Amino acid sequence: MPSRGNRFRPVEGEATSSGRGTDDLDLASPEPVASGPPTARHGASDPVGTADRLRAETSKRIAGALAGVLSPGALGDVYVGWVAAREAATCPARYRGEGEHGWGFPGWSPPLAGGACGRAALAHHVAEADRAGRPAALPMPLDAIRVWMRALRAPGVTGDGRTPPVERGSVGDWICDVWDAGDPATLAAVAALGGRWMAGFVRVLGWPLPSGLTLLNAPGPAAVSALRWRPDAAAPVTVACGADARLGRVTGAGGFALVVHRVTTGDDDALRVRAAFEAAAAALAIGVAPGSVLITAGDTGDRVTVPVDDDLLALGAERIVIVVEQRVVALERGFDPTDATPSGACRHCDHLADCPPGQAWTHMAARWRGGLPVL
Amino acid sequence: MVDGLGDVLARPPQPPAPDGIAALRTALDDGARAARSVGGWNQDEPLRLSKRLVTGLLRCPRRALSDDQGAGGDDVAVGWVVDAAAKLAAVSPRRQVNVDAAVAFLTALGDSTVAEHLADLGPAAARLTSDATARIDRLAASLARVDAGWWPRVEDPVRVPLAGGAVTVAGRIDVLLGGPPTGRPGVIVEVKGGRWHDAMRADGHLYALLVALRDGEVPASAVTLVSDGTTHVEHIRPALLQHAAERLDESMRVAARLAAGEPPATLPGAHCGHCPVRPDCPAGRAWRPPGDGAASAP
């Protein structure tokens, strides 16, 4: 029997995503970070001006990267979320080699949808309480997921306008399709993973949720659906912020915090890089720089606050631009081992057979596993 | 006997006070730092301990380091099906849980190993399916009776970094009930697909320790549901946490010596019977169960 693998897991040690574009970071970052309670503090002195400058600089660099493209149609849409940012920076050769299939959204699956469904169900739970004019009770995760799934399929009631149909969003549409297809196994898997996301989120942040918390990337009146930015209407580039929530109101004074929740923290990129990407993406999308990024982890229970400053935003913008640059390079050459950067991802890389650096790395890595020699 | 879980949830014991958790963390952190100085791990390349590796290092370091961790097979597949069925029952309590549903659940989670194994077996899969069916029913019934207020979550991840992240201890609890913020005491449920043996207790103890370190509250009980019909209920006492911490500390010491280049010890025992490296292990080949006359043969 083959070793037990997961076809949805491209990276060893990487567990369930918290949703499209919101996965992967490592709380064991060597970067200095300040721990603190989940509050919205910190902040640049001029959050609006900072975001304006970031937009201008990032637009200019993206335009520069695209300037050499003779046939813009050949480039296709360039979607820059955290996963693409991580992939393009950690091994440009591998990222280019993914091609259209790998660059695009692979479609919903339970592991990918766990976070999105958990957020949506929590947003629905909060919205229902708001509609009833009472404080939201502590949600029971599995029940909250089921209630949300049922609500997705229920039509809006009566003509009084008091119970409008539930906003589905992309993941909600998928759930309805799965339901219609009569696939209880997938629904159960989504419930398990979405419930786990919600349980971890609520456990780490506490209940009631912190004052001023708004869920992001979730449908419904109690959440903000999506944070996206395009450098200009003609550019094929979309930058997506994958944060799970926001602490505090967005005002010109800034000071709000992004919240990024991770179910697990495995062999991921450094925490600071993830925070940098989401902070930059949010500043670009909102037009106001966040004051900090609060990273929470379900498996460790940690809450780590990363203050946002110019250096962090520059790091995030750099990661965004790298994606665009590599997509442009990919027009000329896809996978090319000359700039391959070996890592644990080599074990699952489709190009390993053609990649001497990756083969050398895996040969070495095969002699050690989890910090111990392999005999 | 499976009603043991229901009994625990109906009358959960008072968990130990959290007073001792900080001291346990400090002691483990000290041990991890000492081990790090020998083993040479750091944040980027840490020692990654799991319940399996902790037990393996203490049981037989030679086997724990083997590249061959034992091939799968029908017994392993049955174990995975049983495990999945129990989790499915916890997630979908109103649903009829059988082998087909459990395999579909696994596949939906992204793990198609068992489905492929069954397909490879063809008609011979019937024996495996029959074996799994016989084991599933009582386990599923037990977990399906858990009310939602216990917040059942499956494969709940827990990870404790020590020595600044140079050592991490991680696991996924089959089913975790209660604990913060539910207002109910935590109950760890471990599902085992084979036959009960006393060494299974250690897994529950280790997970109780990790959950206590993560949540700052000690779970009340660790319940091991075994597909042979055994339900082992262990109410968590400070002494059990202390014991689990001592085992973890000792496993870090063993790991440090191995990482530093010391040859692994071979510790023969009952585990030799199904050890994949036994053919290359004189001590393992020589080992015989107690009472076996061949053990004393020259």
Tens digits of residue pLDDT in B75-109:
888 889 999 999 999 999 888 899 999 999 999 99
User: In the structure, what pLDDT confidence band is assigned to residue B137 with cuts at 50, 70 and 90?
Assistant: confident
Task: Report pLDDT for A44.
Answer: 63
Distance from A183 to chain B by nearest Cα, in Å? Answer: 9
**Segment A91-115 mean pLDDT:** 91
Q: What is the dihedral of CA B271, B272, B278, B282, to 10 degrees?
A: 140
For B64, nearest residue in chain A (alpha carbons): A374
Task: Report pLDDT for A17.
Answer: 30
CB B226 within 8 A of CB B212: no
User: In the structure, what pLDDT confidence band is assigned to residue B288 with cuts at 50, 70 and 90?
Assistant: confident
| Residue B24 contacts A where some CB pair is shorter than 8 Å | no
Rounded Cα gap, residues A209 and B145, in angstroms:
29
Show the CA angle centred on residue A74, arms to residues A72 and A80, nearest 5°.
Answer: 80
Rounded Cα gap, residues A132 and B244, in angstroms:
48
Contact B47 A372 (CB under 8 A): yes
Task: Report pLDDT for A19.
Answer: 32
φ and ψ of B232, to 5 deg: -105, 120
Place of tokens 């599995």: A142
What residues of A are in contact with residue B80 (Cβ under 8 Å)? 4
**Segment A39-65 mean pLDDT:** 86
User: In the structure, what pLDDT confidence band is assigned to residue A35 with cuts at 50, 70 and 90?
Assistant: very low
Contact A7 B48 (CB under 8 A): no
User: In the structure, what pLDDT confidence band is assigned to residue A100 with cuts at 50, 70 and 90?
Assistant: confident
CB A279 within 8 A of CB A258: yes
Please state, in angstroms and as integers, the Cα–Cα distance from residue A160 to each residue in A134, A163, B66, following that order. Answer: 20, 8, 68
**Segment A215-242 mean pLDDT:** 92
Q: What percent of chain A has pLDDT over 70?
A: 85
Task: Put residue A332 in one of left, alpha, beta given phi > 0 → left and psi -120 to 50 → alpha.
Answer: alpha
pLDDT at A138 over 80: yes
Q: Which two tokens stand for residue B277?
A: 């490296």
Q: Which of residues 53-92 of B touch A (CB under 8 A)?
A: 53, 62, 64-67, 71-73, 76-77, 80, 87-88, 91-92
**What is chain A's mean pLDDT, rounded?**
85
Contact B110 A199 (CB under 8 A): no
User: In the structure, what pLDDT confidence band is assigned to residue A69 with cuts at 50, 70 and 90?
Assistant: confident
The residue length of chain B stands at 298
Task: Put residue B100 in one of left, alpha, beta given phi > 0 → left and psi -120 to 50 → alpha.
Answer: alpha
Of the partner residues A29, A111, A374, the one whose CB lies closest to the CB of residue B109 = A111
**Segment A201-208 mean pLDDT:** 97
Place of tokens 């009952």: B270
CA-nearest of B209, B109, B248, B243 to A187 is: B109
The alpha carbon dihedral of A264, A266, A272, A276 has a sign of: negative
φ and ψ of B244, to 5 deg: -60, -40
Rounded Cα gap, residues B209 and B217, in angstroms:
10
Task: Report pLDDT for A43.
Answer: 55
Place of tokens 């100085």: B37
Rounded Cα gap, residues B174 and B199, in angstroms:
17
Interface residue of A201, A300, A363, A372 to substitute, partner B, most B CBs within 10 Å: A372
Taking the alpha carbons at both ends of chain A, their separation in whole angstroms is 22
- DSSP state, residue B264: P
Show the CA angle centred on residue A314, arms to residues A313 and A315, nearest 5°.
Answer: 90
Show the CA angle centred on residue A223, arms to residues A220 and A228, nearest 5°.
Answer: 105
Give all strands (DSSP E) within A283-340, no chain letters. 292-297, 303-307
**Segment A154-169 mean pLDDT:** 70
CA-nearest of A102, A89, A103, A97 to A335 is: A97
Q: Which of residues 248-287 of B touch A (CB under 8 A)?
A: 255, 258-259, 261, 264, 277
Q: What is the pLDDT of residues B156-188, one digit of tens each?
A: 999 999 999 999 999 999 999 999 999 999 999
User: In the structure, what pLDDT confidence band is assigned to residue A267 with cuts at 50, 70 and 90?
Assistant: low
| Residue B160 contacts A where some CB pair is shorter than 8 Å | yes
Interface residue of A140, A299, A343 to substitute, partner B, most B CBs within 10 Å: A299
Q: What is the pLDDT of residues B207-266, one digit of tens each?
A: 999 999 999 999 999 999 998 888 999 999 999 999 999 999 999 999 999 999 999 999
Cβ atoms within 10 A of the Cβ of A30, count? 14
In angstroms, what is the C-alpha Rg of chain B?
20
What residues of A are in contact with residue B109 (Cβ under 8 Å)? 6, 110-111, 189, 192-193
Interface residue of A29, A90, A140, A142 to substitute, partner B, most B CBs within 10 Å: A142
What residues of B are in contact with residue A7 (Cβ under 8 Å)? 110, 112
What residues of B are in contact with residue A366 (Cβ under 8 Å)? 67
Q: What is the pLDDT of residues B11-57, one digit of tens each?
A: 999 999 999 999 999 999 999 999 999 999 998 889 999 999 999 99
Distance from B174 to chain A by nearest Cα, in Å? Answer: 12
